Amino acid sequence: MGDVDVLESVLSKDEALIGGVTPDVASRPTDCPDYDVTRLVDHLVEWMASFAAAAEGSAPADDPAGSSADPTPDPAARFREHAERCVAAWREQGTERTVRFMSSDLPAGAVLAMTLMEFATHGCDLARATDRPVPFTDAELELVLERALVTLPDQYRGDGQPFGPRVDVPDTAPAVDRLRGFMGRTP
């Protein structure tokens, strides 16, 4: 499977996770310290819009980091809309170009790798917080981890940074645990 195929599969599974959020789990904490389930779902929708805009070569309407804390109406449908745009743009325009993302011009392949990291990791977070199994295959998670290892340098980890420090996980651990550990989560 190629990166865009894996992305399409991951996003489809994220959509199902988002659509399965019920009121009784909405306020549960997640592995993201500032987010309960509702806020994590909104984060996923907001960032999907930004990643779709980058893939399309257009500017996002808003900075997702500065979005309101109001829950997104019909989040699964909104997520699907942005996910379909994102996947279509990667398929049509490819990754041999530069795209604008978060006020920087970046190689498209790096932005695609960031998209994979963001949505596989937060999909795992959402599954755990809602007591559902992680829906991603080992092959999908291995590819995401492979991309993450070359995309996420340590300079973006720690206090005041968007990612926590790596959590040591044995090389023999399942792919989901190795990805979670690399992304700063305790498996």
What pLDDT score does 66 carry?
A: 46
Q: What is the CATH number of domain 3-182?
A: 1.20.120.450
Asked if 41 and 16 touch (Cβ cutoff 8 Å), the reply is no
Write the single-letter amino acid at 166: R
- DSSP label at 5? H
Asked if 184 and 163 touch (Cβ cutoff 8 Å), the reply is yes
> What percent helix, strand, coil does the chain show, rounded to 5?
60, 5, 35
What pLDDT score does 61 carry?
A: 53
**Model pLDDT for residues 13-67, shown as the tens digit of each residue:** 999 999 999 999 999 999 998 899 999 999 999 999 999 999 999 866 555 554 4
Total-model pTM: 0.92
**Model pLDDT for residues 62-83, shown as the tens digit of each residue:** 555 544 455 557 999 999 999 9
The dihedral over CA atoms of 11, 115, 117, 80, expressed in degrees to the nearest 10, equals -20
